[in-house]
A and B are shown apart, each in its own frame.
Chain A
Amino acid sequence: MSELRTTIVETVEEIGRASAPESVWKAIKTYAETQGFQYMLVVKGKNSVIDQASGCVLYSDMPAESFDKLELLKHNPLISHALKEARPYSAAELWAMPLTVHQRRALAQINLSLNVLDGVMIPIRSADALEGIVLLGGNKPDMTPIVRSTLHLLAYCAFEQVIHLVANPRRAGAGMLSPREVECLSWAAAGKTDAEIGRILTISPRTTRFHIENAKKKLGVATRVQAVAEAMKRKAIAA
Chain B
Amino acid sequence: MHGPSNDAARFARSLHSVTNTNEIWRQLKAFAAPFGFEHLTVLKRTSDLPRRIASAIVYIDAPQGFAAEFDREGFGPDHPLITRALLRLEPFSNAETNATHLTPNQSRVLQRVSVSLNVRDGWTFPIAREGQFEGMVMLGGLKPDMSPMPCTMLHLASHTAFTRAQDLANGTATRSHNLTNREVECLHWVAAGKTDLEIAVILSISPRTARFHIENAKRKLHVATRVQAVAEALKVHAIAA
Interface residues of A (CB under 8 A from B): 1-2, 4-6, 8-9, 12-13, 15-16, 86-88, 144-146, 149-150, 152-154, 156-157, 160-161, 164, 188-191, 193, 221-226, 228-229, 232-233, 239
Q: Indicate whether B190 reaches chain A with its CB closer than 8 angstroms.
A: yes
Say yes or no: A229 contacts B5, CB within 8 Å.
no
Which residue of the partner chain, among A156, A157, A193, A228, contacts B230 with CB atoms under 8 Å?
A228
Q: How far is the CA of A57 from the CA of B167 in the complex (A)?
A: 43
A223 CB to nearest B CB, Å: 4
Say yes or no: B193 contacts A191, CB within 8 Å.
no
Say yes or no: B241 contacts A145, CB within 8 Å.
no
B1-17 interface bits toward A, Cβ cutoff 8 Å, 1 = contact, 0 = none: 10111101100110110
Which of B28-36, B37-45, B73-81, B127-135 lies at the binding interface? B127-135
Q: How far is the CA of A1 from the CA of B127 in the complex (A)?
A: 11
Residue in A13, A88, A149, A161 whose Cβ sees the most chain B Cβ within 10 Å: A149
18 new A-B contacts, CB < 8 A, other than A8-B9, A190-B231, are A1-B129, A5-B160, A5-B163, A8-B156, A8-B160, A16-B6, A86-B147, A87-B148, A145-B155, A149-B152, A153-B4, A153-B152, A156-B3, A191-B224, A191-B227, A191-B228, A225-B226, A226-B193
Q: How far is the CA of A223 from the CA of B196 in the complex (A)?
A: 13
B residues 47-93 near A (Cβ < 8 Å) are: 89-91
Say yes or no: A191 contacts B153, CB within 8 Å.
no
A200 CB to nearest B CB, Å: 15
Say yes or no: B160 contacts A4, CB within 8 Å.
yes
Q: How far is the CA of A223 from the CA of B190 in the complex (A)?
A: 9
Determine the chain B residues whose CB is within 8 A of the CB of A156 once the complex forms. 3-5, 149, 152
Q: How far is the CA of A8 from the CA of B226 in the complex (A)?
A: 29
Which residue of the partner chain, among A4, A87, A223, contacts B159 with CB atoms under 8 Å?
A4
In the complex, the chain A residue whose C-beta lies closest to that of B125 is A145
A67 CB to nearest B CB, Å: 28
B20 CB to nearest A CB, Å: 17
In the complex, the chain A residue whose C-beta lies closest to that of B166 is A2
In the complex, the chain B residue whose C-beta lies closest to that of A231 is B231
B142-158 interface bits toward A, Cβ cutoff 8 Å, 1 = contact, 0 = none: 00000111011101100
A8 with B8, Cβ < 8 A, contacts A153-B152, A225-B190, A228-B230 known: yes
Say yes or no: B148 contacts A223, CB within 8 Å.
no
A157 with B5, Cβ < 8 A, contacts A146-B128, A146-B155, A239-B234 known: yes
Determine the chain B residues whose CB is within 8 A of the CB of A233 once the complex forms. 234, 241
Q: Indicate whether B225 reaches chain A with its CB closer than 8 angstroms.
A: yes
